[in-house]
Amino acid sequence: MASGRYLILGGSGYIGRHLYARLGPDRALATWYTHPFPGGLHFDSGSVPIADLIRGRGAFTHAFMLMGISKLLECERDKVASHRANVINAQSVIDQLRALNITPVFASTDVVFDGTRGGYREEDPTHPLVTYGQQKLTVERYLLASAAQGGIIVRLAKVYGIRRGEGTLLANWFDALTAGQEIHCADDQCFCPVFIDDVVDGLLALVERNLSGVYHLCGPTCCSRRQLLEMFLKHYVARFGPVRNPRIHYRSINAFNFSERWPLDTSMATKKLEAAIGWQPTPPDLLCQRFVAGL
């Protein structure tokens, strides 16, 4: 294993928690903003200087920038606050990290693309439709403007896990199915959802090889939300028997009455990541199977 030490800004979030669990306190310092956890440090990206945060805590090679407002609807609902958190504060964090000689690893998104064709490669033109994607792209460009100083941009697809109660795709469907609740599912939005453990592997492989630049990090299969739900249902039914009175409603993502138009196909190509780290993510069918097997 390489000898890097890492700052996890946003260590109380979904990805940050898993990254910190893998690295442990000897190799990482992780932060929280409103959700404290043992060993974590409070960090407000708008007010806490990173130099103060790490003073007396040794040297760090990289900082995973996982902090900010990650919900698309929240970014759109409060554009001023989300711009401050996701753009202004993120740019300031990049400046501070560079001054401290710590390489920033910025978590971006597949919705920097407009979803008109899918299969996007790193060098393809970006054109975000939603506020969240616009904010991420602004920070990507800021980081790339000083790329000579190093830095990694990781464009993540939708991340999910295989544990009940964690609030990601399969867990939410499982809860709704078992409670007999309605499921409203888009049938025309395609993406390459990616397993949280693979995300942790991929992020660590990038920093341990000391790489820089833009990388697409996503699952191996392009599917619609509907296709993923049907995959999950197949395993759910095989394990628990037929769902009584399933109340599943399919419709277009843009029939959900969001005030912004959502991109339809944000699937990404991962050839660059395959060449860089030997990326071999877990297929969603296997993850659906593992989810129900673990119940």
Ligand X SMILES: NC(=O)c1ccc[n+]([C@@H]2O[C@H](COP(=O)([O-])OP(=O)(O)OC[C@H]3O[C@@H](n4cnc5c(N)ncnc54)[C@H](OP(=O)(O)O)[C@@H]3O)[C@@H](O)[C@H]2O)c1
Instruction: By CB under 6 A, name the binding residues for ligand X.
Output: 10, 12-16, 32-35, 43-46, 66-68, 70, 85, 107, 109, 156, 158-159
Q: 85 or 233: whose CB is closer to ligand X?
A: 85
Closest CB to ligand X among 86 and 289? 86
Q: How far apart are CA 293 and CA 272, in angstroms?
A: 33
Residues 54 and 131: their CA atoms lie apart, in Å, by 32
Q: Which is nearer to ligand X, 16 or 128 (CB)?
A: 16
Kindly tell me which of 76 and 234 has the beta carbon lying closer to ligand X: 76
Of residues 37 and 256, the one with the C-beta less far from ligand X:
37
Shortest distance in whole angstroms from residue 156 CB to ligand X:
4
81 contacts 130 by C-beta, under 8 angstroms: no
Q: Which residue is nearest to ligand X (CB)?
A: 13
Q: What is the distance between the alpha carbons of residues 4 and 62, in angstroms, rounded to a whole number? A: 8
CB of 73 to ligand X, least distance (A): 12
Q: Which residues contact 83 (CB under 8 A, 6 or more apart)?
A: 135
End-to-end Cα separation, the chain, in angstroms: 33
Q: Looking at the chain, how many residues does it have?
A: 295
One-letter amino acid of 122: E
Q: At what angle do helices 225-240 and 169-179 cross, to 10 degrees?
A: 50
Q: How far is the CB of 242 from ligand X (least distance, A)?
A: 31
- State the minimum distance, in angstroms, from the CB of residue 199 to ligand X: 8
Tokens of 32: 């929280």
Q: Shortest distance, CB of residue 86 to ligand X, whole angstroms?
A: 8
* Residue 112 near residue 69 (C-beta atoms within 8 A): no
Between residues 167 and 180, which has the closer beta carbon with respect to ligand X?
A: 167
Structure tokens at 250: 């399919």
Can you tell me the distance from the alpha carbon of 251 to that of 220, in angstroms, rounded to the nearest whole number? 25
CB of 240 to ligand X, least distance (A): 27
